[in-house]
Amino acid sequence: MRLTDKVAIITGAGAGIGRATALLFASEGAKVVAVDLDLQAAEAVVAEVGASSLAMAIQADVSVLADVQRVVAETLDRFGRISILFNNAGIVPHGKIHQTTEAEWDRTMAVNVRSMYLMCHEVVPIFLKQGGGDILNTASAAALRSVVDRAAYSASKGAVVALTKSMALDYVRDRIRVNCLCPGTVDTPSLGQRLAAFPDPVEARKQFVARQPMGRLGTAEEIAQAALFLVSDEAAFITGIAFSVDGGFTV
């Protein structure tokens, strides 16, 4: 029960890494706020937790300030505090830079970077008043090693790494730790949707697997375990790191 009495906001909690982390955090004693654009998905996660007193679902677009403020207000109203912020919501657009429209670029930066700025902007003052807190951001192995056809995505996740390090330095004396995860390719519903868009989804999956040195894709549960470690007291001396969980992809 490494997160007993802690309150964790998790964005993008309706599926994949977010869902696995919400379930794991709850099993470790945390009260979980599952935030997702898809309310039904978030509510399904809360149902899996199995106790409404331990979790709540909130529908929100975390790239929109009013939605973010509502998430924070509802969390404080329900649980009275915030201990952990896991900025996990994100999208993975394909394409080289000349194939990326202005709208695609702006949406990628809004969901993958602006959302983290907004969530941190609203939560950090609470952490300062409380005397500390933990922030974890989902970046990507693509922020550390180039990947073909991921121009906007890689740029956004590189920004997440830089933001993480900057915040970690800014707040280290305030007992606010800030770290980020850099997952490799993880077998999630989001990946399944992206694979389905390829002319040959089966071949596309084989190519995704082939680029992983370990010879397989990661699981959402494996990433969740890394998230648990980084927000737990066991990682109390760790801040400002980009923690790779990628099966050797960035070696």
Domain CATH number, residue 114:
3.40.50.720
* Same-domain pairing of 118 and 212: no
Q: pLDDT above 90 covers what percent of the chain? A: 86
State the pLDDT confidence band at 203, using cuts at 50, 70 and 90: confident
* Same-domain pairing of 135 and 207: no
Q: How far apart are CA 29 and CA 162, in angstroms?
A: 31
Higher pLDDT, 28 or 198: 28
194 membership: H or E segment, kind and range: helix 189-196
Domain extent for 105: 7-183+221-243
Q: What is the pLDDT of residue 204?
A: 83
Q: In angstroms, what is the C-alpha Rg of the chain?
A: 17
Q: Give the rounded distance of the alpha carbon of 191 from its chain centre.
A: 15
At 144-197, the pLDDT tens digits run 999 999 999 999 999 999 999 999 999 999 999 999 999 999 988 878 887 787
238 membership: H or E segment, kind and range: none
User: What residues contact 138, with CB distance under 8 A and at least 6 apart?
Assistant: 12, 17, 86, 87, 88, 90, 160, 180, 181, 183
* Same-domain pairing of 124 and 226: yes
The dihedral built from the CA positions of residue 76, 81, 86 and 87, taken in this order, carries a sign that is positive
- How many CB atoms are located within 10 Å of the residue 106 CB? 13
Q: What is the pLDDT of residue 226?
A: 98
| Inside any domain, residue 2 | no
* Same-domain pairing of 192 and 234: no
At 105-138, the pLDDT tens digits run 999 999 999 999 999 999 999 999 999 999 999 9
Q: How far apart are CA 249 and CA 213, in angstroms?
A: 6
Q: Mean pLDDT over all residues of the chain? A: 95
Is 171 considered catalytic here? no
State the pLDDT confidence band at 198, using cuts at 50, 70 and 90: confident
Q: What is the pLDDT of residue 220?
A: 96
At 46-69, the pLDDT tens digits run 999 987 679 999 999 999 999 999
Q: What is the pLDDT of residue 132?
A: 98
Among residues 79, 86, 127, 153, the one annotated as catalytic is 153
Q: How far apart are CA 123 and CA 71, in angstroms?
A: 10
Q: What is the pLDDT of residue 71?
A: 98
